[in-house]
Amino acid sequence: MKAFIINRYQKGGELKLVNFPDPVVKDNEVLVQIHAASVNLLDSKIRDGEFKIILPYKMPLILGHDVAGIIIKTGSKVKNFKVGDEIYARPADYRFGTFAELISIHEDDIALKPKNLTMEEAASIPLVGLTAWQALVENASLQKDQKVFIQAGSGGVGTFAIQLAKHLDLKVATTASEKSFDLLKKLGADVLIDYKTQNFEDILTDYDFVLNSQDTKTLEKSFEVVKPGGKIISISGPPTPLFADQMHLPWYVKLITKFLSSKTRRKAKKEHIHYYFLFMKANGSQLSEITKLIEAGMIQPVIDKTFPFEQTNDAMKYVESGRAKGKVVIKVI
């Protein structure tokens, strides 16, 4: 099969298109012919080596964390899927690699593709959808009419999280440039803040929850808008010792996370705010719940641009530019 790989970590490096061995299908896995994938900043961060200490990956490495395609082979113990099923997924850590023509995925990580979406639309959903679900539904324990601040509303996670928050009857504030305001109003945002001319910490007060996706400085400011007893879930760090435990990482990695997050955890404790670092996990059951919302018209994909498979490096650069509204998709077939 053809696949885009990296042979070593390199900041800003280009992926190399090569002929790569076809995946081996284990008993509980399905072999998927990839029709579409999508690009996430996570792919760039892995390529740049940002996670090499806490999440070491074996080289050569195929990047890509979102997939939509058709099952062409099933393992001997697969029970819930069959050849010909149209599926979508965020493959598990150490098992990803969707910038390719084929991928083998554990059946627990996949879900049937929403019937009302194209392959390209479906491929835009899994990582951002599961991130939003695990933040807002699984971990935040939010109640109707509570106030949530979702940063970078026009990004991939932001566009999905806003729609999910409105489905949960929450009041949503977000940051974006003014040119994205019309889109975000349609998605359901209640309070729009132009990050170029306004400071969110001067506008927002007594919020119940923040989904932080930005840098450390933005995270520090987020503590100013959350009321005591509220929650901040960060998908951009710093990682915590709890994360190291959940990922079953070595003791020295736990020590590193303890050091990296010490300032944030102290601040959270002092201000009686719950801080949690979220590294999204593959979950086919949760993705099936998201499918129901999509098929009911509650959530719609937001795609900025689609690139052909051969232009995967261009798609990566476009995502890294920060200009994309919603997701950037790669059409493989």
Strands (E), the chain: 2-6, 16-19, 29-39, 61-62, 66-74, 86-89, 102-106, 110-112, 147-150, 171-176, 191-194, 207-212, 226-234, 274-277, 303-308, 327-331
Task: Give CA–CA dist 129/48, Å, rounded.
Answer: 24
Write down the H helix ranges in the chain: 41-48, 119-123, 126-133, 156-167, 181-187, 200-203, 216-222, 241-246, 251-260, 262-270, 284-295, 312-320
- 182 pLDDT band, cuts 50/70/90, is very high
pLDDT of residue 47: 97
Strand-strand pairing, 2-6 and 61-62: antiparallel
pLDDT of residue 217: 95
Residue 51 has pLDDT above 90, yes or no: no
Residue 198 has pLDDT above 90, yes or no: yes
CA gyration radius for the chain? 19
- CB neighbour list of residue 296: distance below 8 Å, 6 or more residues apart: none
Q: pLDDT by residue (tens digit) across 297-312?
A: 999 999 999 999 999 9
Domains of the chain: 2-125+301-331 (3.90.180.10), 128-277 (3.40.50.720)
Entry pTM: 0.97
Q: Are 71 and 32 in contact (CB under 8 A)?
A: yes
- 109 pLDDT band, cuts 50/70/90, is very high
| β partners of residue 2 | 19
- Decide: residue 187, CB within 10 A, 0-12 exposed, 13-18 middle, 19+ buried: buried
